[in-house]
Amino acid sequence: MKNNLTITPATLDDLCALELLEKECEAYFAFDPPCAAEHNRSLRECLEIGDIIPGVAQENYRRRNYQFDCIWNDGVLIGWLAYYLEYQQTETAYLSVMYIKEECRSGGVGAEVMGWLTGKLAGAGYKTIKTHCSLRNATALCFWVRQGFDRILEVECDGNLWPGKFGGLELMKTIA
């Protein structure tokens, strides 16, 4: 990777660094309350038992379907990815979170991470990746479109985007 990035499966050894990064992440996503309510497991729980796929009964959930990876730059944790495999269909993955520290969001870091993930998933036989983006986050929407998430699958909107209201898009990228 050109940015000296390394992406590794997250482990309990990474928990302290992840919890520090989570504080910045929580502030960043504070404008998107439904998202926070949907994913209410702690980082420790995500690392130990995984996260529950939204809309899937816990008894139908398989731990191997949840992936949690750390993004490192020169040995420093700068972000993480969390995604579900076989999301609603066997050849679909769902990227629930890709977070990169604000000061590291230039120079193609996000595109490089997405290139890595897309290659990994394509190599494993996945055909599509889905993600969700808040309508309040224009920068992220532009990023996802540049990364090939060019199909809108669902529009959620709680009226106009006044304070306390929510709006989001479910986006999809075809990878094979």
Question: What are the structural domains of the chain?
Answer: 5-174 (3.40.630.30)
For residues 144 and 95, give the distance between their C-alpha atoms in angstroms, rounded to a whole number: 11
HSE-CB for 36 with a 13 A CA cutoff: 11
Helix count (H) and strand count (E) of the chain? Answer: 5, 7
User: And the tokens for 92?
Assistant: 């679909």
| pLDDT for 95 | 94
Distance (Å) of CA 121 to CA 11, 32, 171: 21, 28, 17
Q: Any idea which residue has 């990815």 for tokens? A: 81
Cβ neighbors of 26 (< 8 A, separation 6 or more) are 36
| pLDDT for 57 | 53
Mean pLDDT of 53-72: 70
| pLDDT for 69 | 96
More confident of the two residues 140 and 89: 140
Q: Where are the alpha helices (DSSP H) in the chain?
A: 15-28, 33-38, 43-48, 109-123, 138-146
Mean pLDDT of 75-82: 94
| pLDDT for 53 | 58
Asked whether the CA dihedral 33, 35, 38, 41 is positive or negative, the reply is: negative
Side chain identity at residue 54, one-letter code? P
DSSP classification of residue 21:
H
Core vs surface per residue 27-57: b (16+ CB within 10 A) or e: eebeebeebeeeeeeebeebbeebbbbeeee
| pLDDT for 39 | 53
Largest separation between any pair of C-alpha atoms in the chain:
44
